[in-house]
Amino acid sequence: MTKDFDALTHRLIAFRDDRDWKQFHGLRNLMISLNLEAAELLELGQWLNDGALEKKLDDPAFVERLAEESADVLLYLLLICERAGIDLTEAAHRKIDANGRKYPAEKSRGNARKYHDL
Ligand SMILES: [Mg+2]
């Protein structure tokens, strides 16, 4: 795990334990919470077309809301990985490696086809 993720996880666990919230943080609840926060992130784009949403990046208040919801998603993801003993950085590297094998650049460049259609 990167030092940044380690530091975030330690701070998050201390925050949780100071409030005696571990009792509420079973794996199932953490997975539900992650998805609820992802939905809050998605809600920021509700009813907007692609162009209108991209334009919102010029609005500092919108970017701050985007940052807050992105952080919520990351924090629940870190709690899930801590609970399961997963090194998120290592898992992400493995996943990028696997995606590289599924989507070789020479076959995937400039198209959005699924790996089975390459
Ligand atoms: Mg949120």
Region of 68 (left: φ > 0; alpha: ψ -120 to 50; beta: rest) is alpha
Please report the pLDDT score of residue 24 as a whole number: 97
Cα(4) to centroid(ligand 1), Å: 21
Cα(82) to centroid(ligand 1), Å: 20
Asked if 34 and 73 count as a contact pair (C-beta separation under 8 A), the reply is yes
Cα(21) to centroid(ligand 1), Å: 17
Please report the pLDDT score of residue 116 as a whole number: 84
Cα(65) to centroid(ligand 1), Å: 9
Cα(100) to centroid(ligand 1), Å: 32
Cα(32) to centroid(ligand 1), Å: 13
Asked if 93 and 75 count as a contact pair (C-beta separation under 8 A), the reply is no
Please tell me the class of the 27-85 domain: mainly alpha
Mean pLDDT of the chain: 96
- Can you read off the two tokens belonging to residue 61? 């208040």
pLDDT tens digits along 22-46: 999 999 999 999 999 999 999 999 9
Around Cβ 28, how many Cβ atoms within 10 Å? Answer: 8
Domain ranges of the chain: 27-85
pLDDT tens digits along 71-115: 999 999 999 999 999 999 999 999 999 999 999 999 999 898 888
Please report the pLDDT score of residue 94 as a whole number: 98
